[in-house]
A and B are shown apart, each in its own frame.
Chain A
Amino acid sequence: MKRRGRGIACMWYPIGFTVSANPSAAVVKVNEDGTATLLTGTVETGQGSLTILAQIVAQELGIATDDVHVVSADTDTTPMDTGAIASRTTYVTGNAARLAAEKAKKILFDVAAPLLGVKPDHLEVSDHKIQIKGFPSRSLHIGDVAERARGVNGDPPLGSASFNPATAALDPETGQGKPFATYVYATQIAEVDVDDETGEVEVLRVVASHDCGTPINPMLVEGQVEGGISMGVGFALEEEMLFDANGRQINPNLTNYIMPTSLDMPKVEVDIVDSYDPTGPFGAKGVGEPTCVATAAAILNAIHDAVGVRVTSLPATSEKVYAAIKAKRAQEGKRLAAGT
């Protein structure tokens, strides 16, 4: 018989390396037509980080995502970056990209200020324009200012910057200190059906509420959460590298190493919680890794809720769950027989 259960799990996760420096550098060039080019040493590994970085630069310059072209991942042409690791790209590389764009913007403001008859401090960017704060009608197109910066002032608008998260060393005896600049938080709730005659678990639904600071691109955040959950489902129920007694792998292939397919994926509902980190670019933190952290815990708690057994080793395969159910029944049977 299928039994339904629900399980909750919350988690926290840091952004960036543990204490060690993990800087990113970036270069932003504003082109004479008001578009921009970002040079970054980070690598697009599927997360959409280059789009996120384009959005950050665009926001700083008051232009659109499509106006920013990103050149990445070439040790000859792009500045150093610690890379696509530790959920650090949005926060660390994002901060570097924003700072580089800010420097380029400062050059544009210096050029625009005398033309608009104000000090650079009184300027802001908005919708492809450099305008006077509070007087948006007094403005110049960013492309015109960039062209003038190059052609008249001889000061092409470009900026370079780097960022390293603020950490402090841990005490070697007690481990006390500030290992990370910031953390993200999340809760996932899983609903499962467990067949108490086979031990088979079906994950029906996962509800996920994630913190990433400001979501620079909510669609890409959702994509990360959905993908993380699928990895979590595999970790919870299916995936395991097996070794023989001599230390050779038994299942080094996708025939016998079982990972989630479209049929194993539950219905996922993603919420992004309201959050703002003043140390992140436009309040953003990160989201890559944390998405897969709470899933297995939530599923295992849901199994416990459904059939009353606590599986303490992953993955919770049907065999393992069924064995736990059988053991529980045997114990209950004994208790019944003993009349307790």
Chain B
Amino acid sequence: MDKKETDDKKAAVIERESQTEALREMLRAPAAAPLAPLPLETLVPEVRQQTPAVRQRATRPDARLHGLGQTKYIDDFYLPGMLFAKIKRAGIASARIVRIDTKEAEALPGVVAVVTARDVPCNSFGPSLKDQPVLAGERVFHAGDGVAAVAAVTEQIAAEALEKIEVEYEPVTPVLDPLESLKLETPGLHAPNPNIYGHKVIRKGDVEKGFAASYRIFEASYRTQMVEHVPLEPHSSLATWDANGRVTIYSTLGRITLGRADLARTLAVPMSRIRIIATVVGGNFGGKNEITTEPVVALLAKKTGRPVKCTFTRPEEFTSSTTRHPIIMDYKTGVTKEGRILARQVRLVLDGGAYCSWSETTLAKACILSPGPYDIENIYAEAFVVYTNKTMTGAMRGFGAPQVCFAYESHMDDIAEALGIDPLEIRLRNVLREGSLSPTSQQLHSVVVRETLLQAAQRFGWNGAEVRA
């Protein structure tokens, strides 16, 4: 060993010690904070004391805590000895992973553990197709995929460590256009799953016969974009194990029963040893309906023996949580001279993104709802969902309904205009009524779409509404 090498080593040790000292300083427990003066008991509003309770404008007990800043969301928890986790994102939409080198990250002072796909006992999950990895191992399917995770004594060190993880990728040409994906031969993007990973048909009556009997036929196409849920509270979870091999996970999940099943699968731990507590979730809208950070913090907590918390950054909310399905929608509608719909044909292509997630539900709801709240005898609706190398799409408030509503209601106004019928009037002539058969021939009850049309029109002052009511 020459002198230079020895000096370098000494310097490294000194640097490390001084960093450790700085860390100790940073980690020093804060002096006991004086409690903020918060009301211990204020009046219970009278409306909460009324009977009968139903139909009361009762206030929310949790709203009082929200307004005081007393509500504890997951990110507000700091357990003694807790570590902070960060997830390294691929940043490339489609690639094979050749090599992941975490040595330098592990050596960074303050880093306690690093995990990759190799540490995940069962690296697949999903509400229907189990095509989603906890951390990508061999293949990256979208730029927001996680490839490694770090637990460190501070968030900043964890973030710094991510920079030191080296990943070598072999890029694979990404497919971004759902229509292109629709045409791909098998095995497609995500073998062994077929590229069109969901398909749904609703057939009622005979559309061809309906079109043949129509006075006019209208055709139009519509498209919608990908949007994010943007809950103000980012995804977060905190895991801590006990000596009986039980793990408690505080989480922002909106569905803990199924979340526990996903965790039991990915961690290969019996369900009875997993406790999930969802305190108060800071906004969901469908975006917090599957596990994200939960298995990662559980693995890191097990590896380190310390509680581990991981909170998404705002960019991760966009790149690495689910989003709303963009849909390409083709409508063809046959009507009488009076504007009665005789037949409607719909074709939907859903951009399913990198993983299935809640696509099957979205596909089914979009397809069933696509003819609109109208009494139509002849319907043919067909929907496809395909993989692309974009952020995964999943559950989002309305499951495909806002998309198809935009299409069927735009279409309705164009038909009304062409036939010279008032938009309110053409809807009243077609809407579902008590006992109507839905597109799936379900007999409907408590149907009040006509009443909502008239109520809204009257409130708005839509001409003619008063007469109809």
Contact = CB atoms under 8 A, between A and B. Distances in A.
Given A12-B432, A214-B54, A297 B143 contact: no
Interface stretch (B57-65, B159-167, B301-309): B57-65
Given A18-B361, A84-B284, A185-B447, A74 B226 contact: no
A56 B447 CA distance: 23
Contact of B225 (A7, A13, A310, A314): A314
B410 interface: yes
Given A73-B278, A254-B230, A293-B401, A58 B51 contact: yes
Contacts of B314: 252-254
Given A66-B49, A185-B448, A289 B256 contact: no
Contact of B398 (A51, A58, A73, A289): A289
B124 interface: no
A236 B365 CA distance: 20
Interface in A288-337: 288-290, 292-298, 300-301, 304, 310, 312-315
A50 B65 CA distance: 14
B227 A241 contact: yes
A173 B380 CA distance: 12
Contacts of A72: 278
B368 interface: yes
B319 A65 contact: no
B402 interface: yes
How many chain A residues sit at the interface, stated as a range, is 35 or more
A46 B283 CA distance: 6
Interface centre among A183, A269, A290 (most CB of B within 10 A): A183
Contacts, number: 385
Interface stretch (A131-139, A192-200, A275-283): A275-283
Contact of A185 (B54, B57, B373): B373
A261 interface: no
Contact of B53 (A63, A232, A297): A63
Interface in A65-90: 65-66, 72-76, 80-86
Contacts of A56: 53-54
Contacts of B319: 249, 252
A246 B427 CA distance: 44
B201 to A, nearest CB: 5
Contact of A14 (B143, B279, B365): B365
Nearest to A277: B446
A95 interface: no
B44 A66 contact: yes
Interface in A256-294: 257, 259, 269, 271, 273-279, 282, 285, 288-290, 292-294
A76 B275 contact: yes
Interface stretch (A103-111, A113-121, A153-161, A204-212): A204-212
Interface in A204-248: 207-211, 213-220, 228, 231-232, 234-236, 239-241, 243, 245-248
Contacts of A51: 58-62
Given A8-B462, A82-B255, A285-B446, A65 B457 contact: no
Given A185-B448, A271-B456, A12 B373 contact: yes
A198 B457 CA distance: 30
B410 A301 contact: yes
Residues of B in contact with A, size category: 35 or more
Contacts of B227: 234-235, 239-241
Interface stretch (B99-107, B149-157, B388-396): B388-396
Interface in B238-279: 253-260, 274-279
A294 B455 contact: no
Nearest to A68: B53
Contacts of A274: 448, 451
B361 A17 contact: yes
Contacts of B276: 73-75
Contact of B51 (A64, A176, A211): A64
B174 interface: yes
A296 to B, nearest CB: 5
Interface in A19-68: 19, 41, 43-46, 48, 50-51, 54-56, 58-59, 62-66
A13 B408 CA distance: 14
B6 interface: no
B280 A44 contact: yes
A248 B225 contact: no
A75 B275 contact: yes
A126 interface: yes
A45 B62 contact: no
Contacts of B278: 43, 72-74
Contact of B226 (A17, A241, A298): A241
Contacts of B258: 82-83
A298 B409 contact: yes
Given A8-B423, A51-B61, A83-B254, 15 more contacts: A11-B373, A13-B398, A41-B257, A46-B282, A51-B59, A59-B54, A65-B49, A66-B48, A75-B276, A173-B201, A216-B54, A248-B92, A253-B318, A271-B455, A279-B445
Interface of A: 6-14, 17-19, 41, 43-46, 48, 50-51, 54-56, 58-59, 62-66, 72-76, 80-86, 126-128, 170, 173-180, 182-183, 185-189, 191, 207-211, 213-220, 228, 231-232, 234-236, 239-241, 243, 245-249, 251-254, 257, 259, 269, 271, 273-279, 282, 285, 288-290, 292-298, 300-301, 304, 310, 312-315
In the A-B complex, the 9 residue pairs with the closest CB atoms: A83-B255, A247-B93, A252-B318, A58-B53, A297-B409, A45-B284, A175-B202, A12-B373, A185-B449
30 contacts: A7-B423, A8-B424, A51-B62, A55-B54, A56-B54, A58-B54, A64-B50, A74-B256, A75-B260, A80-B257, A83-B257, A175-B367, A177-B442, A179-B364, A179-B368, A207-B459, A209-B451, A236-B406, A243-B390, A247-B142, A247-B176, A248-B91, A289-B398, A289-B401, A292-B398, A293-B401, A293-B402, A294-B405, A297-B406, A312-B221
Interface of B: 44, 47-62, 91-94, 142-144, 174, 176, 200-204, 220-228, 230, 253-260, 274-286, 288-289, 314-315, 317-319, 323-324, 361, 364-365, 367-369, 372-373, 381, 389-391, 395, 397-399, 401-402, 405-406, 408-410, 413-414, 423-424, 427, 431-432, 438-442, 444-449, 451-453, 455-457, 459-460, 462
